[in-house]
Chains A and B, each alone.
Chain A
Amino acid sequence: MSSGDIGVGPGDSSFAEAGPELIQLLTPEGERVEHPDYSIEISPEELRAIYRDLALVRRIDVEATALQRQGELGIWASLLGQEGAQIGAGWALEADDMAFPTYREHGVAWCRKVDPLDIISLFRGCDNGAWDPVATMFNLYTVVIGAQCLHAVGYAMGMQRDGGNGATLAFFGDGATSQGDVNESFIWASVFAAPVVFFCQNNQYAISEPIEKQSRIPLFQRARGFGFPGVRVDGNDVLAVLAVTRKALDAARTGQGPTFIEAYTYRMGAHTTSDDPSRYRLASEMEAWKLKDPIERVRAYLIRSGYADADFFAGIDAEADELAARIRQGTVEMPDPDPDSMFANVYAEQTPYLTEQAAGFAEYHASFATAEQEA
């Protein structure tokens, strides 16, 4: 097999061409197109709300990146370029559904009403995510690649057994598809027909490694071998992502088992603020993807169809400014955690040994205060 047969990745001449399987409802130019298997009914009001989410989430991301550069965050994992995939998926979730994110799903978090500051606190080094995963139905971030996919399947098996109405949505990257845990999750989901949807954001890179280091076939085609359908959607087309994910979640909820969704997109930024992509990819690649921006096409469509005017966009910009200011202030004013909080919640039932250690810790720190007073 030559690499030309693969049809994906920078090693191929058709790079950035996702192939005929790509499901699209809104072109990069902002034109609505029809698809034989997927359609979407969406009101102008909903479209404006989607645009608002896209724009605000991008603004959160830009602000967080700036905060990291100014030393306020330890690190930030940017979602730049992946807003369409995430807002589309987030909009498809119903109240009873449970989402299992990686560390990059700030857009889905936004749709789940997670306060951005509760995400920022993780990247600032204050905690491991401050939101309530039970109340928001948005699990805590999982940094260990792929581990959450099995959790999503287990949660779905629980829904199957306790009469729940929901389904789970498991997020992971292209790189994660190589992990054993992720492949095991496919097998379990398939064997138990679990109500789970696998949502893979193929942003073309796992840190420095392009997709062909993980796969010799388009990722969505792998699903077939595990025994469930796989589809490839334009990840920068929020409407197509919403339609495809909604249909897959519906199928899962109605006992038709899992679906694998490959959201074909591009990581426009560095892997994280610690990364330097100039070491492994060409700027021209990014230029090509800029033309497929997920937000610009919605804006173009809103204008073209007369659903939004200049006032609307100015209003969103103003709201984004306010949000950014709130995030900035909330971040710089965020208190450091109490040092002895490290002993809290290690166990549901605290052990005597750890209680003693925590007491020793407190005593040791108090001794410095005493020494200072005496000095």
Chain B
Amino acid sequence: MAPVTRPSTSVTLGKAINMGLRKAMEDDPKVLLMGEDIGKLGGVFRVTDGLQKDFGEDRVIDTPLAESGILGTAVGLAMRGFRPVCEIQFDGFIFPAYNQIVTQVAKIHSRSRGKLPMRIVIRVPFGGGIGAVEHHSESPEAYFSHTAGLKVVACSNPVDAYWMIQQAIRAEDPVLFFEPKRRYWEKAELDTSATPGPLFVTSVVRPGDDCTVLAYGPMVKTSLQAASAVEAEGRSLEVIDLRTLSPLDLDPVYDSVRRTGRCVVVHEAPTNLGLGAEIAARITERCFYSLEAPVLRVGGYDTPYPPSKIEEDYLPDLDRVLDAVDRTFAF
């Protein structure tokens, strides 16, 4: 038997998604990519770089500039047995497609009594921190998590990104795939011969004893930094990367909170009716007698995403995470 090679390389998050897309296209000829500027340009973040050259214009489709069109035609392609992977150029431009996603993509499997699976992936670079103009820094994940029939995931690092995009493409349901755009250039060692865990599973990324910090997408790194910052003070934070936003996988969270008695949920999206609200409610229902303090939320403020000169004041950072952690101890 030939020796098993373990090709491990250092890749950026953007490149990891690119590699995952390539693998998915090699594995299944029914996988198509659709979006604005994804062909020759390789996408504005270069996530699809080189794919049109290698898979041709029929499989990597530069679409007309119309998001409703991208999602609406993806529905028809999915009905025909294809697996379209749609790129939305920026979070704020998903809304022309909102109607198709919420009224059609989300409901067709149920309306057709399972006869028409909607195997569609919608890739969305999301979140702020890159100094962009308006509509380029938003976090619209709650709108979709609120809609039955859609699954929603967010990756936070290159290794997860590589596996999760392939698993989302293989999934039998429509998946909103949120990519933390300010982390596209962050690197990690990727071993493409490893065996990934399942997609819709939450993972503990840093064990700790004193307080559970929940995050996803770009806020995972921020939360890990917060945990490192207080380590010297003798405070131990357990950081959990949710990964899946709908369905939520909260069993590891309940286990954690029962041990720590404290929990802070962090996201860039506005706090009001964000993911944190649902998570706090469920934790309260399941872990009430273990809680030393109410579950606290750290999020964007309930304002439109501000101009970039003041976005750092809007976005949760290490200080705001630690401030919330402190408040859980003040109860």
A319 within 8 A of B: no
| Contact A279 to B133, CB < 8 A, known contacts A209-B65, A213-B64 | no
Nearest first, the 8 closest Cβ-Cβ pairs linking A and B are A125-B308, A208-B41, A178-B64, A175-B65, A339-B313, A342-B306, A125-B309, A178-B66
Segment 278-313 of A: residues with Cβ below 8 Å from B: 279-280
Q: Which residues on the A side are within 8 Å of B302 (C-beta)?
A: 346, 353-354, 357
Segment 142-183 of B: residues with Cβ below 8 Å from A: none
Q: Are B309 and A342 in contact (CB under 8 A)?
A: no
Task: For the complex, give the distance between the alpha carbons of A339 and B37 in Å.
Answer: 35
Q: Which residues on the B side are within 8 Å of A214 (C-beta)?
A: 64-65
| Binary contact track A316-329/B, C-beta < 8 Å → 1, others 0 | 00000000000000
| Binary contact track B301-321/A, C-beta < 8 Å → 1, others 0 | 111101111110110000110
A38 within 8 A of B: no
Task: For the complex, give the distance between the alpha carbons of A342 and B40 in Å.
Answer: 38
Q: Which residues on the A side are within 8 Å of B131 (C-beta)?
A: 74, 125
Q: Are B301 and A213 in contact (CB under 8 A)?
A: no
Q: Are B133 and A274 in contact (CB under 8 A)?
A: no
| Binary contact track A52-75/B, C-beta < 8 Å → 1, others 0 | 000000000000000000000011
Q: Which residues on the A side are within 8 Å of B42 (C-beta)?
A: 279
Q: Are B37 and A181 in contact (CB under 8 A)?
A: no
Task: For the complex, give the distance between the alpha carbons of A213 and B65 in Å.
Answer: 9
| Contact A144 to B44, CB < 8 A, known contacts A207-B37, A353-B302, A354-B303 | no
| Binary contact track B92-120/A, C-beta < 8 Å → 1, others 0 | 11011000000000000000000000000
Q: Are A341 and B36 in contact (CB under 8 A)?
A: no
Q: Which residues on the B side are within 8 Å of A127 (C-beta)?
A: 307
Q: Which residues on the B side are within 8 Å of A175 (C-beta)?
A: 64-65
| B41: nearest chain-A partner, CB-CB | A208
| Contact A176 to B307, CB < 8 A, known contacts A207-B44, A279-B40, A361-B301 | no
Task: For the complex, give the distance between the alpha carbons of A206 and B89 in Å.
Answer: 13
Within the complex, the shortest CB–CB distance from B224 to chain A, in Å, comes to 22
**A interface vs B, CB < 8 Å?**
74-75, 103, 122-128, 143-145, 175-176, 178-181, 206-209, 213-214, 274-275, 279-280, 336-339, 341-343, 346, 353-354, 357, 361, 364-365, 368
Q: Are A75 and B40 in contact (CB under 8 A)?
A: no
| A214: nearest chain-B partner, CB-CB | B64
Contact of B313 among A123, A208, A342, A357 (CB under 8 A): A342
Within the complex, the shortest CB–CB distance from A68 to chain B, in Å, comes to 11
Known contacts A180-B66, A346-B304; 13 additional CB pairs below 8 A are A74-B133, A123-B133, A126-B307, A126-B309, A143-B133, A206-B65, A207-B41, A208-B40, A279-B41, A336-B310, A339-B313, A341-B310, A342-B306
B59 within 8 A of A: no
**Which of the listed residues B68, B135, B313 has the most CB atoms from chain A within 10 Å of its own CB?**
B313
| Size of the chain B interface, CB-CB below 8 angstroms | 39
B141 within 8 A of A: no
| Contact A128 to B307, CB < 8 A, known contacts A74-B131, A181-B96, A342-B301 | yes
Q: Which residues on the A side are within 8 Å of B306 (C-beta)?
A: 337, 341-342
Q: Which residues on the A side are within 8 Å of B64 (C-beta)?
A: 175, 178, 213-214
Q: Are B272 and A353 in contact (CB under 8 A)?
A: yes
B186 within 8 A of A: no
Task: For the complex, give the distance between the alpha carbons of A357 and B301 in Å.
Answer: 8
Within the complex, the shortest CB–CB distance from B11 to chain A, in Å, comes to 21
B277 within 8 A of A: no
B208 within 8 A of A: no
16 contacts between A and B (CB under 8 A): A74-B131, A122-B133, A124-B309, A125-B311, A145-B65, A178-B64, A178-B65, A178-B69, A179-B65, A207-B41, A209-B65, A214-B64, A338-B310, A342-B314, A353-B302, A364-B320
Task: For the complex, give the distance between the alpha carbons of A271 and B63 in Å.
Answer: 17
| Contact A207 to B36, CB < 8 A, known contacts A176-B65, A343-B301 | yes
Q: Are B135 and A208 in contact (CB under 8 A)?
A: no
Q: Are B65 and A346 in contact (CB under 8 A)?
A: no
Within the complex, the shortest CB–CB distance from B96 to chain A, in Å, comes to 6
| B93: nearest chain-A partner, CB-CB | A144
Within the complex, the shortest CB–CB distance from B238 to chain A, in Å, comes to 25
Q: Which residues on the A side are within 8 Å of B314 (C-beta)?
A: 342
Task: For the complex, give the distance between the alpha carbons of A279 and B39 in Å.
Answer: 10
Q: Which residues on the B side are within 8 Å of A103 (C-beta)?
A: 133
Task: For the complex, give the distance between the alpha carbons of A126 and B309 in Å.
Answer: 6
Task: For the complex, give the distance between the alpha carbons of A342 and B96 in Å.
Answer: 25
Task: For the complex, give the distance between the alpha carbons of A184 and B178 in Å.
Answer: 30
Q: Which residues on the A side are within 8 Å of B66 (C-beta)?
A: 178-180
Task: For the complex, give the distance between the alpha carbons of A279 and B64 in Å.
Answer: 19
Q: Which residues on the B side are within 8 Å of A280 (C-beta)?
A: 40-41
Q: Are A343 and B133 in contact (CB under 8 A)?
A: no
B281 within 8 A of A: no
Within the complex, the shortest CB–CB distance from B307 to chain A, in Å, comes to 5
Q: Are A336 and B309 in contact (CB under 8 A)?
A: yes
**Which of the listed residues B37, B69, B95, B308 has the most CB atoms from chain A within 10 Å of its own CB?**
B37
Task: For the complex, give the distance between the alpha carbons of A144 and B37 in Å.
Answer: 16
Task: For the complex, give the distance between the alpha carbons of A357 and B323 in Å.
Answer: 15
Task: For the complex, give the distance between the alpha carbons of A357 and B66 in Å.
Answer: 37
| Contact A337 to B133, CB < 8 A, known contacts A145-B65, A178-B66, A353-B302 | no
Task: For the complex, give the distance between the alpha carbons of A121 and B42 in Å.
Answer: 30
Q: Are A144 and B303 in contact (CB under 8 A)?
A: no
| A281: nearest chain-B partner, CB-CB | B40
